[in-house]
């Protein structure tokens, strides 16, 4: 089956999750706590971020949640701040975060586009953050479709934003692939009727992702080899 379109998740897929977002979380906690160690601990616990190791717990809502969802958790610790104020801070800080690519992006995306594959990004981050980060990485122009949880299509695991991508490019669901690092990504892909590819550059392991993926790859750099396989060799859904 020929693949005509690939929709990527952003964090943990195009970009290494831990290498990018651990430092961001530490900074957010520092800014919001204003030097109060007790408050910093409470904020870190709300985000499920381990201050001692400087890394997220696997069950953190930050991994696959929206900025609004994360803001809601933080507001439980900072009730004097509005949800909108916290969300705006998260979006602004994320937009300026230096992301670490999971693979050499320009070469990979150009190779896929050269094979006639349309490319898109759907993230549960905000669209403005996604566009800013993709622009900083020098690859924004490679994507015909970029959407965030605030773009009007909904958020994963709802398949609606994935269907918006398909409709935008006139792609058949069966000829398109959703690539992601979380069950949110893969569940949305399955619900949209797309093929699903899991990558291990996020917080979830292969055991967690395998039930929802047609294939599990170490990182997105392995996509071209998987796509070049004969259709009969590509793992299919049962």
- pLDDT, one tens digit per residue, over 53-64 is 999 999 999 988
Q: Give Cβ neighbours of residue 217 (< 8 Å, ≥ 6 apart).
A: 197, 198, 199, 200, 223, 226
pLDDT of residue 1: 57
pTM of the model: 0.86
| Distance from C-alpha of 102 to C-alpha of 202, rounded to nearest angstrom | 10
Integer Cα distance of 218 and 222 in angstroms: 7
pLDDT band at 94 (very low <50, low <70, confident <90, very high): confident
CATH 3.40.50.1000 in the chain, residues?
5-16+101-228
199 secondary structure, DSSP code: E
Q: What is the mean pLDDT of the chain?
A: 93
CATH superfamily label, 5-16+101-228:
HAD superfamily/HAD-like (3.40.50.1000)
pLDDT classification of 85: cutoffs 50, 70, 90: very high
**CA–CA separation, 186 and 199 (whole Å):** 10
Pairing of strands 49-50, 55-56: antiparallel
Could you report the per-residue pLDDT of 111-124, keeping only the tens digit for each?
A: 999 999 999 999 99
The answer to whether 180 and 190 have CB atoms below 8 angstroms apart is no
């Amino acid at each position: 089956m020929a693949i005509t379109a690939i929709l990527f998740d952003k964090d943990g897929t195009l970009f290494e999750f831990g290498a990018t977002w651990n430092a961001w979380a530490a900074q957010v906690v520092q800014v919001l706590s204003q030097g109060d160690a007790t408050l910093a601990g409470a904020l870190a616990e709300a985000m499920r971020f381990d201050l001692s190791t400087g890394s997220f717990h696997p069950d953190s809502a930050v991994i696959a949640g929206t900025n609004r969802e994360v803001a809601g958790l933080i507001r439980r610790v900072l009730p004097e701040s509005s949800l909108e104020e916290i969300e705006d801070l998260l979006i602004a800080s994320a937009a300026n975060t230096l992301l670490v690519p999971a693979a050499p992006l320009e070469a990979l995306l150009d190779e896929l586009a050269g094979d006639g594959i349309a490319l898109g990004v759907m993230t549960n981050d905000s669209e403005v953050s996604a566009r800013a980060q993709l622009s900083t990485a020098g690859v924004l122009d490679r994507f015909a479709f970029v959407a965030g949880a605030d773009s009007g299509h909904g958020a994963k695991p709802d398949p609606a934003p994935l269907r918006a991508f398909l409709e935008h490019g006139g792609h058949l669901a069966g000829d398109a692939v959703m690539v992601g690092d979380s069950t949110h990504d893969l569940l949305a892909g399955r619900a949209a009727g797309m093929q699903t590819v899991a990558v291990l550059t996020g917080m979830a392991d292969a055991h967690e992702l395998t039930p929802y993926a047609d294939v599990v790859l170490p990182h997105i750099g392995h996509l071209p080899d998987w796509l070049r396989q004969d259709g009969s060799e590509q793992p299919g859904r049962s």
